[in-house]
Structure 1
């Protein structure tokens, strides 16, 4: 394994010194756990107090681990629905999203309002309840992924800029770490994201002041980042002005 053949196969070299079984605990756990009755055998051999520890140690999905992941998924679904509901109410109050995906999100909210209006005209004596509204918003909530400085509405993988940049256009989840929310057509910015962009502006200004005269390439790059962040902030402010503020400005 330590020779050329092992290196060619990508095998990890055996370290110098004595070899003992403790070095192979994880490998042994994985090998045991995937055999019939192996999870219990691995728990006993590794002297774990709980089988949950063994499941995580062996990286074996199932049992308590799968139940935990299911609970996490439910909580994320509830959180996303609450966010979409809040943004729908904000849009109705005149506090609108900004960013490349804002128009699409507003169109969706308008379609929800249209369905509510149709229901009211069809059955004027029936009061629309929150459950009906949540049902209409759930479809969009399922596409929501939270970024540090934006919301990603991953409705169409073919439109996701991050997947295009990564060369994985058929992936079923966005690559949030590669998100360029100022350009992606499925990204939106909201007032709650403003502090993040403000921090970006402050940091870029500090970095620009620290540059020497000869660092022209770095200055150009940072100035472009600064201009983008300032533009995002301006768009957030313009879109989030409620009807009262807007009316006051017109006067």
Structure 2
């Protein structure tokens, strides 16, 4: 009914909805309020991702590097951007490179950024995504963040903002280990491995975040 001419209004009356937007949501009607909301959400997400990538690029320039399996790839990308900016400055020494110029160069990487609770996922190659391999869906066009194992996935990175999450996880896991009885060896082994991983991630973040001035 909703897809017929004038159907949205007819369906609203039939379903006794207060607003047409509610009917459009139920019908998933293209071009309705639902589509407008989704477009607005996607726009805000794109802007947020650009700002996050810019912040990490500025951190890279200050010597604060990413950590995690995907750190090398991201660092190489930032190095390439830095080289392009240096080359542009050399040919036009009087030109001031503003954030918009940098954002234009970072846009492609921002488009593949997905936020995890304790990592950034740079979904540049679905065939390398560990979550898709585990789920058996290697051709999916989005990562499965809920299945992310960022300590092993080659497209995941950890940054200083993720440190509190990993540190808290390590503290809680340590408490759970201390509460286990001596007979629960299997559970203790699993939790110990999880605890060791969390400590390793925290140590890697700390090491990558140490600038030359701090280590001097």
TM interval, short-chain normalised:
over 0.9
Measured after TM superposition, the shift of residue 231 of structure 1 is 0.2
Cα separation, 2, equivalents of 1:79 and 1:129: 18
Deviations 1:62-111 (A, max 9, x none): 31111111111110000000000000001111111100000100101000
Contact kept, 8 Å, 1:97 with 1:240, in 2: the verdict is: yes
1:93 aligns with 2:62: yes
| 1:178 and 2:113 are equivalent in the alignment | no
Q: Which of structures 1 and 2 has the larger relative contact order (alpha carbons within 8 angstroms, sep 6+)?
A: 2
Does residue 1:40 correspond to 2:23, yes or no?
Answer: no
Task: Please give the TM-score of this superposition, normalised by the length of structure 1.
Answer: 0.83
Match of 2:199 in 1: 230
Counterpart for residue 153 of structure 1: 122
1:141 aligns with 2:113: no
> 1:130-173: CA deviations, max 9, x gaps?
22111001111001000000000001111100011111111100
1:161-197 CA deviation, whole Å, 9 max, x = no partner? 0011111111100000000000000000011101111
Q: Does the alignment pair 1:77 with 2:46? A: yes
* CA apart distance, 1:48: 1.6
The equivalent of 1:104 in structure 2 is 73
Which runs of structure 2 are paired with 1:1-251 in the superposition (5 Å)?
32-247=1-216
Aligned partners of 1:41, 1:54: CA distance in 2, in Å?
10
> By how many angstroms is 1:129 displaced?
2.3
Give the distance between the partners of 2:193 and 2:69, measured in 1 at CA: 18
Q: Is the 8 A contact 2:67 2:208 kept in 1?
A: yes
Q: Deviations over 1:22-46 (max 9, x none)?
A: xxxxxxxxxx223443221110112
What is the alpha-carbon distance in structure 1 between the residues aligned to residue 108 and residue 157 of structure 2? 17
TM-score by length of structure 2 reads 0.96
Structure 1: gaps (5+ residues): 1-31
Q: Which runs of 5+ in 2 are unaligned?
A: none
Cα separation, 2, equivalents of 1:117 and 1:129? 13
Q: Which has the larger radius of gyration?
A: 1
* 8 Å CA contact retained: 1:93, 1:243: no
